[in-house]
Structure 1
Amino acid sequence: MGTMSPLNAVLIFLATVLGMELFAYAAHRWIMHGPGWFLHKSHHRPRTGNWELNDLYAVIFAVPSFVLLLGGVQLGWWPGFTWIGAGIAAYGAIYFGFHDLIVHKRIRHRYIPRSSYMKRIVQAHRLHHAVRTRKGTVSFGFLYAPKPEVLKAQLRESGAVVQRITIPD
């Protein structure tokens, strides 16, 4: 269906990566902690093997990326679809790196967050896991997180039962 300037391709790609944070927040808050809790609750419990039901969300969210990449690269769709699909895939890779590798240590490593940004993201996720139920949790985004003091105040105000703050391995 035509070509696209490299600048437009990069802008679409970056806008998609940033937009995925908004999508991930909404999906996590209102789907995963809502009607999709039947899959996501496995993520708020200690893992008993290498996989949990929550991992199916990675497959579900990869489908639009795959379809858009296929359509944009192979089927002659608008070239922007290629870059949207690539942006979704890039967000998934960033999410996997931060969430599954750094925070949950699904592959053993010795990395210790030292920057204030990385410490804040890890702390926010720990506070998210302080509540084992679908209600009363805080911090649903992943690349952006409010300050830990704000999240702790929200937890106190919610009246949720707060567990010892650990992240399930």
Structure 2
Amino acid sequence: MSAFINILIVLSTIIAMECLSWFIHKYLFHGPLWFMHKSHHQKAKSFLEWNDLFAVLFAAASLYLMYTDRDSLGYRFFAGLGITLYGLIYFVVHDWFVHRRFKTFKSNNAYLMAVRKAHKIHHKNRGKAKGKAFGLLFVRKSLIKTKSIS
């Protein structure tokens, strides 16, 4: 496969993962999988929470895809790579920046601040029902505050 197609597969997978994550978060995490996800909506009792097991499941799927296609470096390998990169982006933006699991990543970037604000809107409701803002990377334009130059 050409490098262009491989890059396209990786980028498409990242976008698809954001869409799939929104769906899974809204309908499964706040539905039948709430018993695990609720640890993320409660005050943290430790560094790890039950909700972190979802990351392990996504990582396993990604590794499986890359491993099964490791010899030919076909589309499954690059889809797995896209899932891995989405997981890395998710970890940096969600866990490191938004939830401050590590206190080293600060930013006043308008887009990142909108991501943080949307996620705070989501966490305002501590329960299973009536949630808002289930995505991470796609935020409403109205949340992005740009500085005007005068």
* Aligned twin of 1:163: none
From 102, 106, 126, the counterpart of 1:132: 126
How much is the aligned-residue C-alpha RMSD, in angstroms? 1.5
Consecutive unaligned residues in structure 2, runs of 5 or more: 145-150
* Aligned twin of 1:42: 39
Cα deviations by residue, 1:91-118 (Å, 9 ceiling, x for unpaired):
0000000000001111121x33312111
Using the size of structure 1 for normalisation, the TM-score is 0.81
* Aligned twin of 2:56: 59
Query: Within 2, Cα distance between the matches of 1:81 and 1:33?
Result: 29
* Aligned twin of 2:22: 25
Query: Within 1, Cα distance between the matches of 2:21 and 2:37?
Result: 13
Query: Within 1, Cα distance between the matches of 2:67 and 2:106?
Result: 38
Following superposition, the deviation at residue 148 of structure 1 comes to: 4.2
* Aligned twin of 1:13: 10
Secondary structure in 2 aligned to 1:108? coil
Query: Within 2, Cα distance between the matches of 1:87 and 1:100?
Result: 19
Cα deviations by residue, 1:75-94 (Å, 9 ceiling, x for unpaired):
x5x70111000000000000
Query: Which stretches of structure 1, 4 residues or more, deviate above 4 A after TM superposition?
Result: none
* Residue identity in the other structure for 1:65: S
* Residue identity in the other structure for 2:122: H
Secondary structure in 2 aligned to 1:134? coil
* Aligned twin of 2:101: 106
* Residue identity in the other structure for 1:138: K
Query: Within 2, Cα distance between the matches of 1:9 and 1:38?
Result: 38
Query: Within 2, Cα distance between the matches of 1:120 and 1:148?
Result: 5
Secondary structure in 2 aligned to 1:114? coil
**In percent, how many aligned pairs have the same letter?**
36
Residue 80, structure 1, aligned to residue 79, structure 2: no
Consecutive unaligned residues in structure 1, runs of 5 or more: 150-169
Query: Within 2, Cα distance between the matches of 1:15 and 1:134?
Result: 30
* Aligned twin of 2:135: 141
Aligned pair count? 143
Residue 91, structure 1, aligned to residue 72, structure 2: no
Query: Within 2, Cα distance between the matches of 1:30 and 1:136?
Result: 12
Secondary structure in 2 aligned to 1:73? coil
